[in-house]
C-alpha cells in the first residue's frame, strides 16, 4: 500500500510541476507578444503620413487591419536555420479621408533590430479591394454601418 501511495504522489507531483511549467511558458510568451505589439504600435504612431489636411503622425490614424506575411519559402528550407523575415501589413485610415498601407519589415530572432517601415498611400478603390471580405475593417475604414 505504501509503494502505491508513493507512486501516486510522485505522479501527481509530476503533473502539477509540468502544468506549472507549461502555464509559465504560455504566460511568458503572451507577455513578450504584448510587449512587442506595444513597441510596434509606438513605432507606427511615430511615423508621419501626408493627408489632405496636412502631415499627421500615425497616432492620428485608425489602424483598421493588421495582416502578417511570412517568408514561407525560406522557412520551408530544411537547411536554413537563421532568422525568418516577416512583414506586418498595417492598413490605416486617416482624415481627409486618406488611406495607407504601412508595411513593417521585421526579422525574427533579432529582437534588437528596429522595425523598418515602408508607407504607401492608397486610394479608396485599392483600400476597398485590400479590405474585401473583412467587414469590420471596412466599417472602420469607411465609417460604414455593417449590414446584417
* String of DSSP letters for 88-127: EEEEEEETTTEEEEEEEEEETT-TTSPPEEEEEEE-HHHH
Mean pLDDT within 65-93 = 70
Rounded to an integer, what distance in angstroms lies between the CA atom of residue 134 and that of residue 120?
20
Each residue's pLDDT tens digit, 81-115: 555 556 789 999 999 899 999 998 876 655 556 77
Per-residue model confidence (pLDDT) at position 68: 81
Each residue's pLDDT tens digit, 133-144: 999 999 999 987
Report helix, strand or coil for 133.
coil
Whether the per-residue pLDDT at 63 is higher than 80: the answer is yes
Instruction: For the beta carbon of residue 113, count every other beta carbon within 10 angstroms.
Output: 12
Each residue's pLDDT tens digit, 1-43: 678 788 888 888 888 888 877 777 767 766 666 777 788 889 8
Q: Taken in order 135, 141, 143, 144, is the CA torsion positive or negative?
A: negative
Per-residue model confidence (pLDDT) at position 148: 47
Amino acid at each position: 500500500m505504501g509503494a502505491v501511495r508513493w507512486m501516486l504522489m510522485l505522479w501527481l507531483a509530476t503533473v502539477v510541476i509540468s502544468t506549472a511549467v507549461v502555464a509559465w511558458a504560455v504566460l511568458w510568451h503572451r507577455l513578450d507578444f504584448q510587449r512587442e505589439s506595444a513597441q510596434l504600435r509606438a513605432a507606427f504612431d511615430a511615423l508621419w503620413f501626408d493627408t489632405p489636411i496636412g502631415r499627421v503622425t500615425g497616432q492620428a490614424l485608425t489602424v483598421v487591419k493588421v495582416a502578417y506575411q511570412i517568408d514561407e519559402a525560406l522557412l520551408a528550407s530544411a537547411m536554413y536555420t537563421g532568422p525568418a523575415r516577416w512583414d506586418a501589413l498595417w492598413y490605416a485610415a486617416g482624415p481627409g479621408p486618406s488611406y495607407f498601407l504601412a508595411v513593417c519589415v521585421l526579422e525574427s530572432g533579432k529582437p534588437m533590430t528596429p522595425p523598418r517601415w515602408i508607407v504607401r498611400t492608397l486610394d479608396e478603390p485599392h483600400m476597398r479591394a485590400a479590405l474585401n471580405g473583412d467587414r469590420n475593417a471596412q466599417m472602420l475604414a469607411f465609417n460604414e454601418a455593417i449590414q446584417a
